[in-house]
Amino acid sequence: MPRAKSTPKRNKSALAATVLLVALGILAIRLPTVAAQRSSDYSYWAPLVDVYALVERHFFKDPDREAMQIGAIRGMLEALDDPYTEYVPPRDVADFDRAIRGSYVGIGAEVNMREGFLQIVSPMDGSPAFMAGLEADDLIVGVDGESTFGKGINDIISKLLGTPGTKVRVTVEREGGRHDLPEGAQDPSIEGAVGEAPGVAPGRIRFDLVIVRDRIRAATLKGLHRDGEQWSYWVDPEEKIAYIRITQFTETTIPALSSTTKALLDEGMRAFILDLRFNTGGSLQAAIEMADLFLESGTIVSTRGRTAREQTARASARGTLPDFPMVVLINGVSASASEIVAGALSDNDRAVIVGERTYGKGSVQSVHRLPSGQGQLKITEQYYYLPSGRLLHRMDDSTVWGVDPSPGFFVPMTNPENREMMRIRRQEEILRRDRDDNGDWSNPEWILEHLRDRQLTAGVEALRIYLNTGAWQPTGEEVPEGTMQVAALQEEQRRLRLLERELIRTQTRIGALEGVVAQDALEKPDLIPDNARLTDGRIIIYDADGNIVSELRITDEMLEPWLIDAPLERIKRDDDAPIARGRTPEAAPKP
């Protein structure tokens, strides 16, 4: 008798039973694993919970629970030994996001503190502050009738921020008289002294301005100097060499760079200098897009990490600018996104790199909002690798990192040179309505002499030679094997000496306090007259018998700080006069 056929209903029942058995089997296997994992997680956090409970129960005063929570999170992250992984508590999220985006709602001005008040360094182009009449060097002595004297800069800025379209009343103190008042000026809300805040200073006038807040996009692109309200970008107007400095990589950077460069091309630009010095980075996407502006093809950067698969960004021909000769300026503060751009343009032979080795910040951070809503976590997930395969990031044991200048274009600058260059640059970047400018900005030689920037000068010279000969010729120093390591070693030794000097000073002060030493015993003698010019001077060292044992050339004005804690004392002579200029070592008086 043939076997009866199974009905569909019976087949479904059998299948369901099979699925149920498999599911039960999986649960039998996974439940102990899940339970073990959960138990492990609980045991990991148990000591933290125990400590918190004991503090709550026994601490002698009511604890700051928010501070304890933040401290616990930051302590955990510090154990990772990565300075770029950080917790952003809820109260700091808005400031953090504003810095990342490069935009905010406010009045739009670069500010500083002076004489206890907020000082306008420069209003931004087209900003509410500029349109209302604020000028460089104005003091904001009040906001909405409340004195700003003695308040922290962030507290004052927070009062100037707000939502678009809202108004803020600022009390301004300006050098000058009534003829210096802008249109729209009103009687000051704060006329005289308020508490510890001083009244109006002699030769100044106070007035109120009502400013309507608006969305401000921080400008990350700058030119050579201000020409009225506009930037001038020509560092060599005769050869048509243009200059642009990028201060940060944000979502506004690439559109501004693209449009400005195209405008310069329309004006006849033949060569271009991109200044990435003192630029500490920003958006990875902005860096990739910037490199892509100048590259038709090739690798821009790769990222690799423990849990993320390797990703490679490549250039495309679409939207690429013409292939004009190009120099990129870098130094030891250029980091992260700056290094990506410089490295990509160097490895793809698109630009000559002038300056010094970069900082070596080649780690990729991502920002994650905590599911609880209690802040954000910025965490390092990957590292950057240049097209050549070189790791950008500087580890503690690294001997190679960052981006090096092109061979023959190593141009180091001393700290005094950088300070002087930055001082001049800041003056040229201030936005003033009535600029008293006697500079000869049509004369390229005057421009380079005025700016006192050796790295910029080397870049201009390189481009001039290329435009005239079609070939790159070194305008800096060759970099012998180990030069960058020597420079880095010297910098680390300098930092160590500074720390040692501070330790010695601290020990001296402790000794003075412990021994009830008179205060004047702590004062160090004035070893060198304040008006002495030291650079390229000489130090001649005699032994106890009066024989010359060494002669040293002084390479920096900052000599005295290094001598303060040395076992030296100034020899007083009858006339206490310095050695005459031009006297030879042999003729120098002996001790």
Q: What pLDDT does residue 269 have?
A: 98
The yes or no reply on domain 103-217 and CATH 2.40.50.140 is: no
Residue whose pair of structure tokens reads 């700016």 in the numeric block: 451
pLDDT in tens, 117-156: 999 988 877 789 988 989 888 999 999 999 999 888 888 9
Distance CA 543, CA 554 (A): 20
- The yes-or-no verdict on residue 26 having pLDDT over 60 is no
pLDDT in tens, 424-480: 988 888 777 665 567 899 999 999 999 999 999 999 999 999 999 999 999 998 766
- The yes-or-no verdict on residue 584 having pLDDT over 70 is no
The winner for highest mean pLDDT among 315-319, 400-404, 479-483, 547-551 is 315-319
The winner for highest mean pLDDT among 361-365, 466-470, 497-501, 557-561 is 466-470
| HEC letters along 217-228 | ECCCEECCEEEC
Q: Which one has a higher pLDDT value, 194 or 474?
A: 474
pLDDT in tens, 54-99: 999 999 999 999 899 989 999 999 998 888 899 999 888 887 877 6
582 pLDDT band, cuts 50/70/90, is very low
- The yes-or-no verdict on residue 25 having pLDDT over 60 is no
Q: Is the pTM of this model over 0.75?
A: no
Distance CA 166, CA 53 (A): 46
Q: Which of 153, 154, 119 is nearest to 134 (CA)?
A: 119
Alpha-helical regions (H) of 161-281: 253-266
185 pLDDT band, cuts 50/70/90, is very high
**Percent of the chain whose pLDDT exceeds 70:** 82
- The yes-or-no verdict on residue 585 having pLDDT over 70 is no
Range with the poorest average pLDDT among 210-219, 331-340, 405-414, 492-501: 492-501
The residue ranges of DSSP E strands in 70-227, in sequence order, are 86-88, 103-106, 109-114, 117-123, 139-143, 146-147, 167-175, 204-212, 214-217, 221-222, 225-227
Residue whose pair of structure tokens reads 């002076």 in the numeric block: 114
Mean of pLDDT values over 482-507 = 72
Q: What pLDDT does residue 364 have?
A: 82
Q: What pLDDT does residue 349 have?
A: 97
Mean of pLDDT values over 107-114 = 87
193 pLDDT band, cuts 50/70/90, is confident
Residue whose pair of structure tokens reads 């900082």 in the numeric block: 359
Q: What is the CATH number of domain 221-302+319-359+388-478?
A: 3.90.226.10
Q: What residue type is assigned to position 485 of the chain?
A: Q
